[in-house]
Structure formats: C-alpha cells, structure tokens
Amino acid sequence: MGIGDKAPDFVLMDRHGSKVSLSDFAGHRIVLYFYPKDNTPGCTRQACAFAENYRGFQERDIVVIGISKDSVDSHRKFAEKHNLPFILLADPELQAIKAYGVWQEKKLYGKLSMGVVRTTFIIAPDGTIEKIMPKVKPDTNASEILAELK
C-alpha cells in the first residue's frame, strides 16, 4: 500500500460501542493513527498531543481517528482518563491493523514479537492515501501533521 492508493475501509467499534467505518467520513481529510496500547507512556503522550492540538484539526475540518487492538472498554477508560475528544476505535481482531500493514515483527530487549508499529496515515477527502508516516514520535506526531497541512 502506498501514496495514492485507496485507503482500506473498515467497520470497527468506538469507545461507546457504536460501529464506525472509514467511509463514514468520505469528503473529509482523515488523520488515521495506529498505536500499540492504551495507557502506556508513549501511547498516552501521543493521544494527549492529539488532544492538545485537536482544535487545530477541527479548524481544518480534519477527522482524527486512533486505532489499537485494545477493547471498547479499554478505549472508553483511556479517553475518559485523558479527556480525549477524538475517535478511538477498537480492533481486537486486527482487521484494520493488518489491512494497513502495521502489524509487524518488533524487537524489544532483544526479543522478537508481533505488534502494532506506531504509524500515521493521512487520507485525502477522496479516500486515497495522501501520506504515510511510519514509526512516528509520540510527542510530535500531531503538531508535525498540523504544520504540514497548513
């Protein structure tokens, strides 16, 4: 999958248990970010950075969606704890995670395992992939996107 390709559609549950699909946001630019796990240090910093910059995304009519393999309940607690105003989607079956190619082998302390590689996709209003940002830095991902999309 690359720049200009049609972004894979999906249907996942949000933190309220409602079904959400990528196609629900046709005609809008979307920031779709994949992260490993709720309430871990890097993922919390990344989510809070998106929350701090959320007004800038709203002003540009950009939809922000975070996806991890955590449960709906985990997302609800994570969003409430950190006052996250954007959409979090649960993907325990790895439907979108695998479709976007972010389920990869990772090395931690010399041990190999499979997991979500922190990656952000910018999807154009026509549903095509505009930009892929692999292995983003949690603290600066949101502000870098806003600076680029000015």
Per-residue pLDDT at 31 exceeds 90: yes
Residue 66 β-bridge partners: 33, 88
What pLDDT is attached to residue 3?
Answer: 95
Q: What residues contact residue 40 under an 8 Å CB cut-off, 6+ apart?
A: none
Residues with active-site annotation: 43
What's the pLDDT tens digit per position in 35-61? 999 999 999 999 999 999 999 999 999
Tokens 């969003």 sit at which residue?
79
Domains of the chain (ranges, CATH numbers): 11-108+122-148 (3.40.30.10)
Look at residue 125 in the predicted model and tell me its pLDDT.
Answer: 97
Q: What is the pLDDT, as a whole number, of residue 150?
A: 75
Q: Please tell me the pTM assigned to this model.
A: 0.95
Sequence-distant (≥ 6) Cβ neighbours of residue 90 within 8 angstroms? 12, 13, 14, 15, 68, 69, 70, 71, 72, 74, 75
